[in-house]
Structure 1
C-alpha cells in the first residue's frame, strides 16, 4: 500500500528525498509544531510535492491555509513540501493537520519510520511542545526550548555542536537532585514523537537520526511560541534568505492568513443572541 502520493504535476520518480532533512510537527500542547510549519512554509515559499495518505490518519479536507483569502487549493490531512537552501540541501516539511486515530500511534509510527529509511532522509527534525507548568527550577529561566536526540545523532559531534552552539538549544534535563535524592525525569516526548524515538533507540546505529525540539509553553495564543520555534528551525536547517534581519539575527516571517482566525476567530451571527 502506498504511503506517499506525489502531486499531479510531479511523479513518484521526480520527487527525491535522498539526503533530505525531514521536519515533522507534533500534534500536542498549543499546536506549536503545526503553527511553526505553516509559518516556515509561508515565509520561504516551499513547493508542495505531494501528500501522505494512510488509514491511521483521520481524513480531512479544508480551506487553503497559506493563500490569502483562501483562494488556493484545498488543504488535506498530511501534506509534503520541499525547498532547497543556500547550501544546496533539500529540506522536506510535512504538515499534519489531523490526528492519528486513537490506538493507532504505534502502527503509524512504524510505517513512518520505514518510509523515512526507505526514502533516504538524512535525519528527522521533530517539532514538539510540552507543559510549562511542569518545569523544574533550572528550566524557569533562559531559553524555553530543549532538544532530545537519538543515538545516531548523539554520536555525531557536528550535529550536537550545531544544536547547542549554533542554535543555542541545550539538551533536555533528564535528572534533578531534590533533598539529596537523584530523580529521573522524562524526555517530555509524547505520542508519535515518543514512539519514533523509541524505535530509533531500539535500532541503535541502524535507527533514524532524530532530533526533537521541545518548547515549554501553555495553551492559548501560541503564535509567539511558534515564532521562537521557527527561528531555531531556520538556524538549524540554515534556511536563511533575504528575509533575514542582519541586525539581530532574526527572521522577518510572513504571517500565514490562517493565523487571523487564532485571535479573531470566525465571524458569529449576532442574531443568535437576540
Structure 2
C-alpha cells in the first residue's frame, strides 16, 4: 500500500507540474495575443454605408496601423484629410501615384492605365457610375467607396489640385477584419488589382492573433482542469488498492 501511495504522490506531483505549465503557457498566449492586437490594430466604427457591401455602417472593424508607403491598390484604408473634412473616413484605394483612372469601359469596369479591373465586391444596379478621368500625382492615392452610387469620394474632389487624390501620409490604418458583427470575417484583398505593378498587400496578423488567444484559453482551461482530474483518478485508484488489500 505504501508503494501505491508513493506512486500516486509521484503522479500527483507530475500532474500538478504539467497543469501549472499549461496554465502558464496559456496565460502568455492569451494575454500576449491581446497585447499584440492592441499594438498592431486600431478599432474603428464604420460611419456610413459608402463601403457597402464590404462593410456596413455601424460595423466594428480592426484596422492595422500602417505607414502610407505600405498601401497597395485594393486596400480599404482609414484616412484623414483636411480637404475631406479632417475626420476619419473609410474608402478603397483604386489608384496610386502615376495611375490614370478612367470610368468606365464598355462593360462598366474601372480601368487603370488602360487595364480593366474586375471588382466583384461592388453592388451596382442599373447604369454604371458617372464617367470620369483622373491622373494621380506621385505620392498620392485615389479612393472610391464600394457603394459607387452614394459614396462621396475622390470623384467629389476632381476639381481639386490633386484631382481628388489624398497624400499617402493621410492614411492611418488598413482594414483587416470585421470584429462585429461576428459574421463579418476578414476583409479580402481583391484579386482584380493583383496583376498591376506592386500587386496587392498581404493580410495582417489578425488570424495568428486569434489563434494565440484561442490556444491560450484552451491551455488555461485544460491545465486548470488537469490537476483536479488527475487527483480524482489517483484517489480512485488508491481506494481500489485499499479495498483489494482489505479483502
Q: Which has the larger radius of gyration?
A: 2
Query: Looking at both structures, which has the greater relative contact order when contacts are Cα pairs under 8 Å and sequence separation is at least 6?
Result: 2
Q: TM-score, normalised by structure 2?
A: 0.29
Which of the two has greater helix per residue?
Answer: 2
